[in-house]
Structure 1
């Protein structure tokens, strides 16, 4: 059994802050845990407006708090994000995420992240980023 505490993880190498200042993510479950997916609690800062395109991963995102929107590139549709909303990037959807107020999100990635990932030039994560222990 694996048991972790969010507050403790926030003070460890499991908390990653984006170099661009849009988000921070505490990675509670990672590839080395051998569950087949990773689980993160991510904060999107107020005013963040950035493109993402997870070409190597599928992601499901559940909004715990805050308000924003996600816009898809293929069809230009905008979806309101608020507590209780989940969006699922099941087709490697290229999208823009906007935070009208600080949002707390629960995120699941498949395949799982190693731990140190930050967005690359295309707005996605590399498959083999460093582990949190490296």
Structure 2
């Protein structure tokens, strides 16, 4: 059994951040759960191009508003509290936040905890 709290994650390798975002990560690769869950905060006004080419990501929006654009289909979807979206390893996309956003994200395969975005705006497959 794994039991944790955000207070145990803050300031560790599982507390990752970059320009406009912070990700508190639960269920790391070393925990051998097969996935990672994050509590991610996105600042207002962020506009990122992302491509998790080595991961599948599923996202549930807790608070805030923004939009996600699928580059392959050119569709733009509004996202707000209660929205869910899932991306496979081929979904290069744009994520824009209009307000501060709080997200619950799940990654498969699991993260090591130290990942940040590389030059392709993805995470490396294994750190």
TM-score (norm 2): 0.95
Aligned length: 127
User: Could you say which residue in structure 1 is the equivalent of 2:7?
Assistant: 7
Residue deviations 1:86-129, cap 9 Å, x none?
A: 10003530000000000000010001110100011111000122
Query: Structure 1: where are the runs of 5+ without partners?
Result: 130-134
User: Could you say which residue in structure 2 is the equivalent of 1:132?
Assistant: none
User: Could you say which residue in structure 1 is the equivalent of 2:51?
Assistant: 53
Distance 1:72 1:106, change over 3 A: same
RMSD: 1.1
Displacement of 1:75: 1.4
Secondary structure of the residue aligned to 1:8 is: helix
**2:80 equivalent among 79, 82, 89:** 82
User: Could you say which residue in structure 2 is the equivalent of 1:44?
Assistant: 42
Secondary structure of the residue aligned to 1:118 is: coil
User: Could you say which residue in structure 2 is the equivalent of 1:30?
Assistant: 28
Q: Check whether the contact 2:54–2:89 (CA below 8 A) recurs between aligned residues.
A: no
TM-score (norm 1): 0.90
Query: Structure 2: where are the runs of 5+ without partners?
Result: none
